[in-house]
Structure 1
Amino acid sequence: MSRMSGVLAAVVVGLSLVTAAPATAESTHPFPSELPLPNGFRPEGIAIGHAPVAYLGSLADGDLIRVDLRTGKGEVFSQGPGTPSVGLKIDRRGRLFVAGGNGGDARVVDARNGAILKSYKFSGTGAFVNDVVVTDDAAYFTDSSRALLYKIPFGRHGELPDTATEVPLTGDFVLKPGFNANGIAATPDRKALLVVQSNTGQLHRVVDGVSKIVDLGGEVLTSGDGVLVRGRTLYVVRNSLNTVVVFTLDKSGASGKLVTKITDPRFDVPTTVAAFGERLYLPNARFGTPPTPTTEYKVVAVPNR
């Protein structure tokens, strides 16, 4: 599929999807359990807001695709910059915040029409901007190669600034060889951030850059990738292990208790996770499969346990 095919049609479709009424838990059952993506797309991040629409980015060229959870049909609605789109999140204003991977950048995209609202180029060499969380007052991006977060503070009415701020990671967080800070989410009380460190398997609670390791009762999260917090439930995707680990957190996010581990034979190196209704949605990045223009990719839906 051409990267620009169906853009105008996607805009019209997207407007109707964004304004669709939220589905009830019961109405999610007929939704397809697999969402096909274009061959060669190479998904990594996924975001779902209040409407039954999933947004995904391509590691191949940064294209963004919008998929209707009710039908499984989707279209590319925003052309990428030729560098990766990795983690992404959508806010209540319909803005997609997109991490740029080894492009060392990020951008904010209008989820309705694909227009780029702001672009940010982060300083330093060797950056890998991996994932993002949107809080009430800012967006925070992780860097898997450097011991810091990138903060985009919002103005009074959510205005986007012209530049981002670097927040050094200190305390218990120690940079190690390999992939470091990866998935990021807010704690249940929204007073801190949770960051998984892939190479050490540690989950960090971060306040103003100061990190403290979360007590998970001895559970180790090596290969931890995307994270999701819903209420006091934490989901951590361990990509190469094809597993989602589920915890119950205390309100502050300082400790967690293992609830279950979700596996599925359809998992093929899932990287990130988003939720809608009673389901979790995970894109299969298929990192063990050589990427080609004909390699098949999909999103897998599993029960939200």
Structure 2
Amino acid sequence: MALEDRSFARRRLLTSAAAAGGAALLGGTAHAAEPRKKAWPDRFPLPDGFQPEGIAIGSAPFAYFGSLANGAIYRASLATGRGSVISEGPGAGHPAVGLKIDRHGRLFVSGGVGGDLRVVDSRSGRTERTYAVGGAFVNDVILTPRAAWFTDSFAPRLYRLALDRHGRPGAVTDVPLGGDWQQGPDFTANGIERTPDGSALLVVNVFVGGGTLMRVDPRTGTATAVDLGGAVIPNGDGLLLLGRVLYVVQQQLNLIDVFRLNAAGTRGTAIARITDPRFRIPTTAAAWGDRLYLPNARFDVEPTPGTDYDAVAVPQV
């Protein structure tokens, strides 16, 4: 089986913006909740055959979705649900997996089996930079004031893309993962976020303990298991932190587990579980106003050019 096919098959098997109050190292800013017309759709279509995975929402009410099929980027208006492809992508074998957008309109894209990181101008759709890091599956990304951090699902390391004070990307370095981190036989790391106080990173490890949230020191790569009071996240995919509330999308379980974290991100308490009959294996989440928006990846079906996809919105906790 080809590596690309094996990677996506393994994802199916294992799976059977930004918060306020960030501090110095990894702090961030969040847009204020905006008024939302009642008519705004809570479900809207994505292009047939698109194979969505990641989602990003910036300072305007538009959602950006990445395609596993060819790395294309689709932009949809949250007000109308209508959208269009703004970037055709680099083609088959170079998917767009995780996505984040900064305040300058730059999209940071995880290249999956393409083994690269990309920076795309959300206005023109032009790819500004491509970094070939050789990763087997570059999965998800989170932005901090001085870096974009990417997970690799098949290797115990993170990629750190340095950002200058204007958010412009610089060099990429590897940060090996140690401490409590254990690498599974193949697919291991998934979603990534930061702690509420901005001092560390949070990374999903689907191998350790049947699914564990790890707190990672960005300086050393040392990982420590987060105490979630016995809760496990076997299908943990995208992470979204709003204040001290962490949303963990458990994709093939068709639910979102919600935890309240302490400031340092060393402990969390389960406070809610979000389910919805419209979920068809959602993978990642982004926030606007009082809603969460999620693409349905439909990993339980064999994708074809005619397979239908959509995005859904649910209320925040």
In structure 2, the residue corresponding to 1:175 is in which secondary structure? Answer: coil
State the match for 2:216 in structure 1: 206
The Cα shift of 1:146 comes to: 0.2
State the match for 1:231 in structure 2: 243
Residues 187-266 of structure 1: matches in 2 within 5 Å? 187-200=195-208, 201-207=211-217, 208=219, 209-266=221-278
The Cα shift of 1:177 comes to: 2.0
Deviation string for 1:86-123 (max 9, x for gaps)?
A: 01001111110000000000100111111111110003
Q: 1:197/1:266 Cα in 2 relative to 1: closer, same or farther (>3 Å)?
A: same
Deviation string for 1:213-266 (max 9, x for gaps)?
A: 000000000010000001100000011100100010101111111010000011
The Cα shift of 1:131 comes to: 0.2
* 1:181 corresponds to which of 167, 186, 189: 189
State the match for 1:146 in structure 2: 155
Matched AA of 2:212: Q
State the match for 1:8 in structure 2: none
| Maintained 8 Å contact 1:23/1:52 | no
Larger displacement relative to structure 2 (23-32 or 132-141) = 23-32
Residues 1:106 and 2:114 aligned together: no
Report sequence identity in percent: 55
Matched AA of 1:205: R
Q: 1:157/1:271 Cα in 2 relative to 1: closer, same or farther (>3 Å)?
A: same
Larger displacement relative to structure 2 (290-299 or 110-119) = 110-119
Residues 58-207 of structure 1: matches in 2 within 5 Å? 58-82=67-91, 83-123=94-134, 127-161=136-170, 163-200=171-208, 201-207=211-217
The Cα shift of 1:156 comes to: 3.6
Matched AA of 2:134: S
TM-score (norm. length: structure 1): 0.89
The Cα shift of 1:24 comes to: 5.1
In structure 1, the residue corresponding to 2:302 is in which secondary structure? Answer: coil
For the residues of structure 1 that align with 2:167 and 2:263, how far apart are their CA atoms? 26
Larger displacement relative to structure 2 (37-46 or 176-185) = 176-185
State the match for 1:275 in structure 2: 287
The Cα shift of 1:179 comes to: 1.8
For the residues of structure 2 that align with 1:165 and 1:178, how far apart are their CA atoms? 22
Q: 1:196/1:24 Cα in 2 relative to 1: closer, same or farther (>3 Å)?
A: closer
For the residues of structure 2 that align with 1:54 and 1:249, how far apart are their CA atoms? 27
TM-score (norm. length: structure 2): 0.86
The Cα shift of 1:283 comes to: 0.5
For the residues of structure 2 that align with 1:301 and 1:261, how far apart are their CA atoms? 15
In structure 1, the residue corresponding to 2:294 is in which secondary structure? Answer: strand
For the residues of structure 1 that align with 2:102 and 2:168, how far apart are their CA atoms? 13
State the match for 1:6 in structure 2: none
- Name stretches of at least 5 consecutive residues in structure 1 with no aligned partner: 1-21
In structure 2, the residue corresponding to 1:103 is in which secondary structure? Answer: coil
The Cα shift of 1:157 comes to: 2.8
In structure 2, the residue corresponding to 1:164 is in which secondary structure? Answer: strand
| Maintained 8 Å contact 2:182/2:207 | no
| Maintained 8 Å contact 1:28/1:278 | no
Superposition RMSD in Å: 1.3
For the residues of structure 1 that align with 2:315 and 2:54, how far apart are their CA atoms? 19
Matched AA of 1:106: L
